[in-house]
Amino acid sequence: MQQYRLEEWAVTEFGEAHLGDARRTERLVQLASLLGSQPTASLPDATDDPAILKAAYRFFDNDAIDPAQILASHTQATLTRLRQLPLVLAVQDTTYLDWTHHPATTGLGPLVHATQQGVLAHTTLAMTPERVPLGLLAQEVWARDPATFARKGDHKQRPIDEKESQKWLSSLATVAALHAACAPTHIVSVGDAEADVYDLFTAPRPLGVDLLVRAGQNRRVAQPEKRLWAAVEQAPVVATREVQVPRRERQAARRATVTVQWQAVTLRPPKRRAAEQLPEVAVWAVLAVEPAPPAGVEAVEWLLLTTVAVATTADARERLAWYECRWGIEVWHKVLKSGCQIEARQLESAARLHRCLALYSVVAWRIIYGTMLARAVPEAPCTLLLETEEWQALYCAIHHTPSPPEQPPPIRTAVRWIAQLGGFLGRKGDGEPGVTVLWRGFQHLVDLTTMYRIMRPPLPRRNVGND
């Protein structure tokens, strides 16, 4: 497992950025280190130096710096992590970034309605099946054109490259191109029901790149049942399984027991596109249904379409487990907004915010990485994540002692201590700490480490030559 301590991470993730001037790359690494150590802080608080603050604003204001190049270095580091693994999930999703309350910012566009202003970010996050995030593979950011936003009636008639649905194909194309650099890793692109776009299934994919998409439409199929849901529902129930249902508005996160059915099906193209002579597509469908949901709670029903063969019950269970990993990108969205406070950043244009977003996107990933790393390899030393002085300061603060031990604690223990700084109580039924208490805890750890460096006794001087 790759080490990822604070003083190394900025160089590892951003040190190879090609920004047209080596000094810009040096500035990016410096900013990443500062903002990574204090993700919730404002720019003035995080920099804590007027000269560095001025340089930070100059960096984000520089139109010669391409946000894609800021992320490109991180993506290459992500590919290095991918090469070590046989299977990786490329989870893609879109979020709204709302800057309505910053009316002076130019270049924004409508979000849900015309008066709500901001940009959309469609991100592809690489994850292991154990839900450890490996980094960003792609990110597309755009502001909607108000004129196009108001034109709703001809949506179905417009070609795919004129729709926002193109984002799913763009992500897949990027993943397919990157796969050449990390073969033979098997990459599965994962999307929710919005990704159920016929063009996605017909798009070219190299060997080793596949799809897993939740069905959002009751498509035509070549089976006798004629429609997708009917074709899969006639398959026998082969198993039951518990799945994680994420928190939704007015509904807490919960575990649900679902029945499992699967069936090979052949999708037929939409009738309205008959003139295009699109090919039929052979896929496997996995249906998960909750037969007895709690009172007043909507039952779980997922119908997943995948290009990865399903031949056994174990295969069907595995595809469901892969889809559950999709919640990881929603956690990343939460960290980006609530932890890194991206929507509170005040810059004068959408282009400047885009550069800021590219940097904070990686900062948000690092927070989740630490959280999930502690769950995946709990007994590994915490030096995978923390510098020596950081874990020593953490130990001394938690145990109220000036003297840390010689050996670092396990990473799970250290992460729980960090969460404790952020308000985690660690009671018997509390489970593992989440990202909210962790980003708060990391903020406190910065201050603790600074004080530890100031207050610790100096190391004894060596008496050279007088033995």
Residue 167, pLDDT score: 97
pTM (predicted TM-score): 0.88
Q: 3-state SS of the chain?
A: CCCCCHHHHHHHHHCCCCCCCHHHHHHHHHHHHHHHHCCCCCHHHHHCCHHHHHHHHHHHHCCCCCHHHHHHHHHHHHHHHHCCCCEEEEEEEEEEEECCCCCCCECCEECCCCCCEEEEEEEEEEECCCCCEEEEEEEEEECCCHHHHCCCCCCCCCCHHHCCCHHHHHHHHHHHHHHCCCCCCEEEEEECHHHCCHHHHHCCCCCCEEEEEECCCCCEECCCCCEHHHHHHCCCCCEEEEEEECCECCECCEEEEEEEEEEEEEECCCHHHHHHCCCCEEEEEEEEECCCCCCCCCCCEEEEEECCCCCCHHHHHHHHHHHHCCHHHHHHHHHHHHHCCHHHCCCCEHHHHHHHHHHHHHHHHHHHHHHHHHHHCCCCEHHHCCCHHHHHHHHHHHHCCCCCCCCCCEHHHHHHHHHHHCCCCCCCCCCCCCHHHHHHHHHHHHHHHHHHHHHCCCCCCCCCCCC
Does 466 score more than 70 pLDDT?
no
Lowest mean pLDDT, pick from 152-166, 202-216, 302-316:
152-166
Give 91-115 pLDDT, tens digit per residue: 999 999 999 999 999 999 999 999 9
Q: How confident is the model at residue 460 (pLDDT cuts 50, 70, 90)?
A: low
Mean pLDDT (whole number) for 433-461: 77
Mean pLDDT (whole number) for 187-215: 97
Mean pLDDT of the chain: 90
CA distance 17 to 71: 8
Amino acid 438 reads L
Residue 13, pLDDT score: 94
Higher-confidence residue of 437 and 336: namely 336
Residue 193, pLDDT score: 96
Residue 4, pLDDT score: 46
Lowest mean pLDDT, pick from 51-55, 57-61, 306-310, 374-378:
374-378
CA distance 454 to 201: 59
Higher-confidence residue of 152 and 57: namely 57
Q: How confident is the model at residue 323 (pLDDT cuts 50, 70, 90)?
A: very high
> Domains in the chain, start-ordered, CATH in brackets?
66-349 (3.90.350.10), 380-455 (1.10.740.10)
Q: How confident is the model at residue 245 (pLDDT cuts 50, 70, 90)?
A: confident
Lowest mean pLDDT, pick from 123-127, 169-173, 453-457:
453-457
Residue 2, pLDDT score: 45
Give 17-26 pLDDT, tens digit per residue: 999 999 999 9
Residue 253, pLDDT score: 78
Lowest mean pLDDT, pick from 187-201, 212-226, 349-363, 415-429:
415-429
Q: How confident is the model at residue 464 (pLDDT cuts 50, 70, 90)?
A: very low
Strand partners, 133: 127
Higher-confidence residue of 370 and 3: namely 370
CA distance 160 to 149: 16
Residue 159, pLDDT score: 67
CA count, 13 A, side-chain hemisphere, 340? 27
- CA-based R_g, the chain, Å: 24
CA distance 382 to 374: 9
